[in-house]
Chain A
Amino acid sequence: MEALLGGFATTLTLDNLFYCFVGAFLGTVVGILPGLGPLTTIAILLPITFKMDVTSAIIMLSGIYYGVAYGGTVTSVLMRIPGEASSVVTCLDGYEMARKGRAGAALGIAGIGSFFAGTVGVIGITFLSPPLAELVIKFGPAEYAMLMLAGLTMVTYMSNGSLPRALLMAAFGLLLGTIGSDPLNMTPRLTFGVLALGDGINLVPLAIGLFGLSEVLFMARQKPEDMKVLPPPSHLLGFMPSREEARRSVGPVARGTIMGFLVGLLPGGGAVLASFLSYGMERKLSKHPEEFGKGAVEGLAGPESANNAGTAGAFVPLLCMGIPANAVTALLLGAFIIHGVTPGPTILERQPEIFWGVVASMYIGNIMLLILNLPLIGLFVRILDIPRAYLTPMILAVCLIGVYSSNGNPADVVIAVIFGFIGYGLRRHGFDLGIVILAYVLGPIFERSVRQSLAISDGDPMIFLHSYLSAGFALVAVGLLVAGLWPKRKKAA
C-alpha cells in the first residue's frame, strides 16, 4: 500500500500527469481514427521517448495502449468496425443498439463499464500480482489445451439459430486458423505457395472484412428511402443509459470484470477469450436470450467490461513475467527494455518505483479516459447524422486504411475485401460470424498446445488429466457442452 502511494507520488508530478494525459488522449484518437494503429503509434514515438525520463516514457506508452481500447469501442458501436479482436463482440450487440437509436447509451454503458472493470483490474494488479504470476507459471501446454477446449465449447452458447449452423461456422473458423505456418514445424501449410498467406490470415483483415466491410455491402444494397436517419440524443446527457438499461447492466459488468481479469492473466489472447466467454455467459444467464444479437444491453456491458479488465490483467504477465499478450504489449515490452526496465519476477524488488508508477498511472489514466470520453460521446454519435450516402464510403475508407495500416501489407486489403463478400453472403443466410472469430482465435492455440503436450508425453493422452488445473478445465469443457445442449434437447422432446 505504501508502495502504491509512492507510485502515486511518482505519477502525480505535473510532468507525468501531462504524459499520462497525452498517452490516454493519443490512444483514444488512434483507436478511433484509421491509419494509425497502436502498434505504429508506439513504434513512431519510441525513439522520441529515448530522451525522456524512464517513468514518464512508460506512463505515456502504457496510456496509449489502454486508451486504444476505449477508442476501439466507438468504431465498433457506431460503424461495426472492430479495431481489435477483443472488440469483435462489441460489434454484435453494440452496433444493433446504435441502430435502434441507443448509440449514446451503448457508448455510455461501455465507457462506464470499462472504467469500472479497468479500475477493479488495476486494484487486482495492486494486491495480487506476485501470487498471480505464480499461477501463470502453472499453465503448461496441457492446461492451455484444456482451457481452449472449454473456450471452444462456448460455440454452443453463441449461436442465434440452430446448433448445426453454429458448428459449421466454428469449423470454418478453425479451418481459417490452420492456414499459414505449421505451429511446430513452421513449414507452410495451406498457403498454396502464396507468400502473403505464409503467416496465415491476419486477424485484423479477417475481422474488419467479416464485420465492417460486410456491413458496408448491406448499406449499399439499401434503397435510399429505407435509410432511416437515427435520432441522435438531443441533450447533453444523451449518453446516460435509461434506468432499465442501467439495471440490466449491473450484473454483466460485475461478472465480466471478475472473469475478464482472471482470463486476461493468461498470455496469448486472454482479453479476446474473456470477451467471448462473457458474451456466452450473459446469454446463458439472461432472461431474454432471444434479444442477443439484436441489441441486448447485457451483450454489450459484459464483454466490454471483460475486455477492459482483461487488458488490465494482461499487465500482470507483462510486468511480472515479461510475457506479452499481443503485438502491442510486445512492443511495450521492448520499450521497457530499451529504457533499462526488465520486466520479470524481480521488477518488484529492483524497480518498484517503475512498477507502482505504472500501476498508479493506470488508475489516473482510467479516470482521465472517462472524463475525456463521456462528454465526447455526444459528438461521436453525431457521426450517425451524416447521410448514409456519405457515411458508407467513409466507413469503407476507414476499414481499408485500417487494414492496410495494421501491418503495412497490401495483401491484407485484398484478404479483407474477400472476407467482406464472404461475410455478406454468410450474414444474408443468417450465420453467426462471431463464432468464426472465436474458433479462428482459439483453434490455433488449441492445436499448438495439444501437439506440444503430446510431444512432451511422448503421445500419451493422459497428460491432459495430469494436473488438477488441466483436469478441471476438461471437466468444465464437458460440463459446458452438456449444459449448452440440455435445453435444446428438452425443446426437441
Chain B
Amino acid sequence: MNRRTVLKGGTALAAVSIAAPALGQSAKWPAREISLINPNAPGASTDLTARIIAQALEKRLNATVIVKNVVGGAGALGPTTLAQSTPDGHTIGLVAISSHVAIPNMMKVAYEPWTAFDIIGQVAALRYGIGARADGPIKSIEDLVNQGKQKQLTYSSNNVTNVVAMFQLAKLTGAKFRWVVFPGGVESVTAAIGGHVDAVIQTVAEMRPQIEAGKLRLLASAAEARWPDYPDVKTLRELGYDAVSNGPFGYAFPKGVDPAIQDRMGKALADVMKDETVTSQIAKLGIQPVYRDGKAYGELLKKIETELVPILKETGMAKKPA
C-alpha cells in the first residue's frame, strides 16, 4: 500500500462521509411536508394542475404536499426561489419554457437554468391552435398565408411561448404577421372574435368556448398532434408547414438532491401520471397530460431554446447582452 492509495482511500472515505448524510436523508425522506413552488397565481392552469398532482403525490409519498404560489418578478421569483432552496427533497417547483428559456433570456436572473435544477419530469403540455373570427375573410391557413403575403396581418396572443408557430409560419411562407400582445389568453381570443386582430394563437382551453359558440374558426392545430376534441382539424405540419408551438410543464428539485430521493420522487410522479383520475382531471382543464422523465424533459426544453431565442431577439424581448 503506497501513499497514493492511502490518499485515494482517504478521498473515498471523505466522499462516503459527505454522502452519508444524504443517504440518511433518503431513508428518512419525506421527513416533513413537501412544498411545490408554482410561479403563477392561484387559478392559473399550472396552479390547478399542481393542486391535482399534489393531491395524488400525497398518497404515494405518504407526506403532505403544499402548493405555494410564489408569484412575482414577472415569473422569475418562483424559479429563483426554487433554485435557492435547500436541496433536501422537501422543495420541488414548476419548470417550463418560462423558467429555462424565456425568463433567463429576457432578464437578469440569479440562477443558471441548465445547472440549477434536478428535473423530475414533465406532467402536461398546453395545446395550441390558430383561430380566426368565424365570419371573417380568413377561412383556412392557406387564406391566412395568402392574405399575409399581400398585406401585414395582425394576430393576438398573451405569451412568447405561444407564438413560435406563427413566427415559423411567417418565415416559411414569407407572409407578414404582426404579434399584438394581450394580457390574458381569453382577452386575446376575444380580440380576434371582435375583429380587432385578424387571427389568434392560444390554447384549446381558451379557444374552445368561442369555437363551440360558432364565433371562432379553428384553422389548424399548432401542436404536434391534432386536438382530440376536433379530430378533423389538421396540424400545421399535416398542412405542409413545419411549424409547432410547444407548451410543456413539469417539476424539478433544486440541484444536489440525493439521487435515491430523486429516484423515488421520479417513480412517484410516473405513477401519478398513470392514474386515470389524475389525467382525466388535467384533461378537463383543456391541457394534455404528458409524461416524460427528467432526462427527456430536459432535452425537450433544450430543443425549444434553439427555436425561441431567435424570436426573442427578433421581437426585441431578449435582454441586452451584459
A residues lining the B interface (CB < 8 Å): 39-40, 42-43, 46-47, 136-142, 180-181, 183-188, 193, 195-199, 267-268, 321-324, 327, 330-335, 337-338, 340, 342-347, 407-409, 411, 448, 452, 455-456, 458
Contact = CB atoms under 8 A, between A and B. Distances in A.
7 contacts: A43-B69, A139-B194, A187-B106, A198-B75, A321-B190, A342-B209, A345-B212
Give the top 8 A-B pairs by smallest Cβ distance, nearest first. A344-B209, A140-B196, A198-B73, A331-B43, A334-B43, A345-B213, A43-B42, A198-B74
A180 B74 contact: yes
A47 B209 contact: no
Contacts of A195: 72-73, 76-77, 80, 110
B186 A321 contact: yes
Nearest to A334: B43
Contacts of A137: 190, 193-194
A345 B76 contact: no
A335 B77 CA distance: 25
Contacts, number: 153
A343 B209 contact: yes
Given A331-B42, A408-B68, A183 B181 contact: yes
Given A140-B191, A199-B71, A333-B43, A456 B196 contact: yes
A337 B48 contact: yes
A39 B208 CA distance: 26
B44 A334 contact: yes
A114 B47 CA distance: 33
Contacts of B51: 46-47
Contacts of A47: 51, 55
A168 B187 CA distance: 33
Interface of B: 41-45, 47-48, 51, 55, 68-77, 80, 106-108, 110, 152, 154, 160, 178, 180-184, 186-187, 190-191, 193-197, 205-206, 208-210, 212-213, 215, 281, 284-286, 315-317, 319
B174 to A, nearest CB: 18
Nearest to B107: A188
Contacts of A344: 208-210, 212-213
A140 B187 CA distance: 10
Nearest to B73: A198
Contacts of A330: 41, 43-44
Nearest to A195: B73
Nearest to B154: A456
A458 B74 contact: no
Given A334-B47, A334-B48, A338-B284, A181 B74 contact: yes
Contact of B106 (A46, A186, A407, A456): A186
B227 to A, nearest CB: 15
A136 B210 contact: no
A187 B73 contact: no
Q: Which of A140, A196, A332 has the most CB of B within 10 A?
A: A140
A39 B108 CA distance: 30
A413 to B, nearest CB: 13
Contacts of B194: 137-140
A268 to B, nearest CB: 8
Given A140-B191, A184-B181, A345 B285 contact: no
B316 A185 contact: yes
Contacts of A331: 41-43
B213 A346 contact: yes
B73 A196 contact: yes
A39 B45 CA distance: 15
A455 B74 contact: no
A334 B190 contact: no
A100 to B, nearest CB: 40
A323 B55 contact: no
Nearest to A349: B213
A30 to B, nearest CB: 14
B72 A199 contact: yes
B318 to A, nearest CB: 8
Contact of A408 (B69, B80, B180, B186): B69
A43 B67 CA distance: 10
B272 to A, nearest CB: 16
Contact of B72 (A139, A198, A346, A448): A198
A409 B71 contact: yes
A399 to B, nearest CB: 20
B183 A136 contact: no
Contact of A345 (B44, B48, B70, B209): B209
A456 B181 CA distance: 10
A185 B74 CA distance: 12
B204 to A, nearest CB: 11
A344 B212 CA distance: 9
A297 B61 CA distance: 58
Given A188-B107, A321-B190, A338-B48, 13 more contacts: A141-B191, A187-B107, A268-B183, A322-B206, A323-B184, A324-B43, A334-B43, A334-B48, A346-B213, A407-B71, A408-B70, A452-B181, A455-B154
